[in-house]
Amino acid sequence: MKRWDQRPFEVRNLFNPAFCGLVLFRALEGFEEENPEGMPFSLALLVLPLCLHMDSRQVIADSPRSYLLKTVEKNPQLLVGLADRTKNLLPFAFEALGFSMQLGCFEVTQDGRLKTVTGRVRKSVTGTSESVSCQRVARIIGKEFARIADRVTIYTTFGIRP
């Protein structure tokens, strides 16, 4: 990971740790609506590649009431390049998680799950239409991950080997 001041302007804006941390926080909130134990760390790494990629985000946003597994089955284009995006976004996900953890936005439980800390992030979803869209899709993804409740199924569905 390059130092912050050595990164290109676009990278600093698109993968800002505060914004990526907010997207991850929204996914954790959505997960906790269905499963109060918190999201497994390994699933949190799939949030940014699904939320920040516009085509993936639009497919998921257009079918918020449909099950995620059915959405993936009906829209195989979601899988194209997802494994590479996930691998390329890992440093940014780690940076965002570290930044959010430093600010006390979430905690790690004994069994390695990530749980939000109430009162650390505003409940209202604000910002540009693009950032609001990312946050809303993150919440949907979090809820769907909790409903599926099996990491192996999720990773297999998306064609990614853990």
pLDDT digits (tens, 9 = 90+) for 83-121: 999 999 999 999 999 999 999 999 999 999 999 999 988
From 52, 24, 34, 68, select the one nearest 60 (Cα to Cα).
68
At 97 the pLDDT is 96
Cβ atoms 155, 147 nearer than 8 A: no
- Pick out the chain residues at pLDDT < 50: none
- Give the global pTM: 0.93
From 134, 121, 124, select the one nearest 89 (Cα to Cα).
134
From 50, 15, 20, 21, select the one nearest 144 (Cα to Cα).
50
Domain map (residue ranges) of the chain: 9-157
At 98 the pLDDT is 95
At 107 the pLDDT is 95
Paired strand residues for 160? none
At 162 the pLDDT is 62
